[in-house]
Amino acid sequence: MKNIIIFGAPGSGKGTYSEEIKNRYGMGHISTGDVLRAEIKNGTELGKIAQGYIDNGQLIPDQLMIDILALQYDSHPTGKGVIFDGFPRTIAQAEALKRMLAERGHDLGMMIELIVGEDVLMERLLRRAQIEGRADDNEETIRKRFAVYHSQTEPLSKWFAAEGIRHTFDWGVCKTKEGMLEAIFQEIEKENGGVES
Ligand code: AMP
């Protein structure tokens, strides 16, 4: 299986669709947000550094994130491909990822972009705040995360398009989670020359 980079704004469903893809195809899954939250929970040095950024809706500095990602990648089985969820978020991270994979004889695979309108995103994130109690899911921090997404992450979409690996899925067109999943699975199978699930 090709590697998959799952890309989209906060609340676009990156975690949810990553889980579904992982369960269907048995791929590895690296969520940088989950890695950081685990570090915070365990009170590690890295967790202490990350917390300040996360609580402010800011990104963790690139070099730190790139080092964390390489460690994670090397400790994951890569035989069935890996889903990158929440990484890369900047062009520097994308370039580092491409280089890191090339050094290991692997490549970026395909990028899946989730397009969801901001009103739906805000509604979902506020609902998630009530269910999961994530500290960064309050309205003020969400607005900052949207601003960071627009300025630092969204430009990456074009970077992936230029790499010729961008595949876009629009909530406004698919309308339901099942509709999105069906379209995503179809595209993954097409890219992999038809996979048995
Ligand atoms: P997420 O769970 O992917 O929404 O990530 C939660 C927070 O973790 C983000 O708002 C960032 O502060 C931080 N984070 C996660 N992944 C990255 C990344 N690739 N680069 C920088 N910061 C990140």
pLDDT band, very low/low/confident/very high, at 197 (cuts 50, 70, 90): low
Residue 169 lies in a domain: yes
pLDDT at residue 195 tops 90: no
Confidence of residue 90 (pLDDT cuts 50, 70, 90): very high
Assess contact for 184 and 17: CB atoms under 8 A.
Answer: yes
Among 114, 135, 99, 100, residue whose Cα is nearest residue 5: 114
* Active-site residue identified among 24, 89, 127, 144: 89
Q: What is the pLDDT of residues 21-76, one digit of tens each?
A: 999 999 999 999 999 999 999 999 999 999 999 999 999 999 999 999 999 999 99
**Structural domain contains residue 31:** yes
Minimal CA–CA distance to 84: which of 161, 96, 133?
96
Is residue 130 domain-resident?
yes
Spacing, Cα 93 to ligand 1 middle (Å): 12
Classify residue 196: in a domain, yes or no: no
| Residue 91 located in a structural domain | yes
In this predicted model, what pLDDT tens digit does every residue of 153-172 receive, in sequence order? 999 999 999 999 999 999 99
Which residue in the list 2, 98, 124, 134 is annotated as catalytic?
A: 134
Q: Kindly report the pTM of this predicted structure.
A: 0.96
| 128 catalytically annotated | yes
Helices 62-74 and 32-41 cross at an angle (nearest 10°) of 100
For ligand 1, say whether the CB of 33 is within 6 Å of any of its atoms.
yes
What SS3 state is found at 18? helix
Whether 10 is covered by a domain: the verdict is yes
Q: Which pLDDT value is given to residue 77? A: 87
Q: What is the pLDDT of residue 196?
A: 60
Q: How many domains does the chain have?
A: 1
pLDDT, position 78: 81
Query: What is the rounded average pLDDT for all residues in the chain?
Result: 95
**CATH code of 129's domain:** 3.40.50.300
pLDDT at 108 > cutoff 90: yes
List alpha helices for the chain, DSSP H. Answer: 14-25, 32-41, 45-55, 62-74, 91-103, 118-132, 139-148, 156-163, 171-174, 177-191
Is residue 197 a part of any domain in this protein? no
Residue 175 falls inside a structural domain: yes
CB 57 within 8 A of CB 142: yes
- DSSP code of 104? T
Q: What's the pLDDT score for residue 145?
A: 97
Mean of pLDDT values over 93-99:
98
Q: Is 89 in the pocket of ligand 1 (CB under 6 A)?
A: yes
Q: What is the pLDDT of residue 183?
A: 97
In the residue annotation, 190 being an active-site residue is answered as: no
Domain encompassing residue 132: 4-191
